[in-house]
Amino acid sequence: MYVISWVAVESQLGKLRDYVLMQAIKDSSTLRVGEKFRKPSPRIVFRYGKQDRQIKEFLEMRKTIYHVSRNL
């Protein structure tokens, strides 16, 4: 949330600011795993601090979901 909030403040984009506020109100954020319309799958571009294997597990799960969805 810190990084998203910082980007929203620096970019001065109203829609991004609104998005960050809603994520803060929900006290969580959802990461999309697969493609959405013509948007590519999300990429991890920032790693900070201890991840407790969460990034590795996310990448493994994304790969599994991708393979399952391609075989449907």
CA distances from 71 to 36, 39, 42, 65 (A): 18, 21, 21, 10
Q: How high is the pLDDT of residue 49? A: 67
pTM: 0.42
Neighbours of 20 (CB within 10 A): 19
Tell me: the pLDDT tens digits for 6-34? 888 888 888 888 888 888 887 766 666 66
Structural tokens at position 44: 């991890």
Separation CA 40–CA 72 (nearest Å) = 19
